[in-house]
Amino acid sequence: MNMARKFEVWRSWVVGAGLIVSASLFAAEGPLLEPLGGWQVRATASGVSAELTVDPPDLVSVADEKYDALAVFQGPVWRRGTPLQGTRAEACSVADALEPGSLTVRDGAGPVAKTYQLGKDYQLEPRWGGFGRLEGGTIPPDKPVFASYRYALMRLDSVILTPDKKLTLRKGVPNVATPRPPDLAEGETRVGNVWLSGRIDKLTPANCFPVLETAYPEPPRAVPSVAERLLPKTVAKLKSGRPVKILAWGDSVTECVYLPWEQKWQEQFAARLRERFPQASIIMLSEGWGGRTTTAYRNEPKGSPRNFADKVLGLKPDLIVSEFINDASMDEAAVLDNYGEILKDFQRIGAEWVILTPHYARPDWMGLKQEREIDQDPRPYVRGLRLFAQNNRVALADASLRWGRLWRQGLPYSTLLVNNINHPDERGMKLFADTLVELFGSTGPK
């Protein structure tokens, strides 16, 4: 489906305690980027049109890559056995990068080495690029193996309008999971990006991302701010300079062992909040548990190092900001029930609460067929959070809205996921911080 030349940008924002309001901000003549077959695209912008040729995905050949020991072929599909090093992202493999028929596994380097048999000695997860030894096969558990294979890297190429009004194509830097568009020179305008999403054999509309907006359209600044209405005790402490204790409570995205400390969403938020309230004394605490849900936390027994009463309620924070993409399997009724119990716990200790809606995860996990035209989050969990916040006057930082519009900025949202599944990079973490400071009457990029 081609992107229409005439398009209308819609903005949804949270008013009060979670009411979703949409408004048409503007109608404009937008750029057009469409595939012509194979590796050809037609770009049109500012009255200029050009047919451009995109280089196919970058293929990498690996020979005799050593693995000191090969794990048994088991585990979830994204981490089954041992991830091939070339197709490995953060903590797991990348889907659709490996050329499955290219893999050979041997007991040494060089032509005289023994070749192991697929299906007898080892098995391969062909889409995700994990391989592992089979019980009863001839691969010893404590001996090295050597793998040879081919895989494709991702790439974001940009169609650029030059100062002399010509359209040109510039290649991005290939990356296994998080490719970034190439830099612009002075006076240049990015018309769109072409996403080489791994091992593909042609371009389709799903690979073409015209730039329809250069930044997220921030809502009008609310007076009073959402925080002033729903987080009055926190705001009073921020303004007075009295110490305010904020707890970031969540899963692996909050624990965030994969990014430097200052790039975590809670640390970006704290830094921005200190800019907004320079007199404030902010104590930022974090309690994150990878792979777990709010229910898992609340079910931990007394004495557990993750006991909810000790690790969350026992800290007596003034403000709790919760982030749980691992709760995304909940339907709306489960959200209203489970989060209602959490609210009672927080009210009992006098803590105020901000709920972060989650970022987008892998498209197939969300029921999405592409990464364009996806402004509205389809997950019942997100609808449930919005309804819960509205019904209970709980502050909602609706980060999902920002993730759903990345395609309008020419960015496939999954290129911000360092594990190609659900772990945001520092740009994705900034979207959380942007959403949180919006509640406090501070908008725009920092």
pLDDT value at residue 111: 81
pLDDT value at residue 121: 98
Q: Taking CA 219 as the corner, what is the angle to CA 24 and CA 444, rounded to the nearest 5 degrees?
A: 130
Instruction: Name the amino acid, one letter, at 175.
Output: N
Q: Please choose, from the candidates 291, 287, 295, the residue with its C-alpha nearest in 3D space to the C-alpha of residue 250.
A: 287
pLDDT value at residue 28: 44
pLDDT value at residue 443: 57
Low-confidence ranges of the chain (pLDDT < 50): 1-28, 444-446
Q: With beta carbons less than 8 A apart as the criterion, state whether 444 and 414 touch.
A: no
- Which residues have a Cβ under 8 Å from the Cβ of 295 and sit 6 or more positions away? 327, 338
**Which of the 8 DSSP states describes residue 90?**
S
- Which residues have a Cβ under 8 Å from the Cβ of 362 and sit 6 or more positions away? 95, 414, 417, 420, 421, 422
pLDDT value at residue 442: 73
Q: Is 246 exposed, middle or buried (0-12, 13-18, 19+ CB in 10 A)?
A: buried
pLDDT value at residue 29: 59
SS3 46: coil
CA dist., res. 159 & res. 167, Å (int):
7
CA dist., res. 288 & res. 324, Å (int):
9
Residue labelled with tokens 């402004």: 375
pLDDT value at residue 93: 87
CA dist., res. 113 & res. 103, Å (int):
15
pLDDT value at residue 5: 35
Q: pLDDT per residue over 341-384, tens digit each?
A: 999 999 999 999 999 999 999 999 999 999 999 999 999 999 99
Instruction: Name the amino acid, one letter, at 330.
Output: M
Q: Is 329 exposed, middle or buried (0-12, 13-18, 19+ CB in 10 A)?
A: exposed
**What angle separates helix 332-348 from helix 380-392, to the nearest 10 degrees?**
40
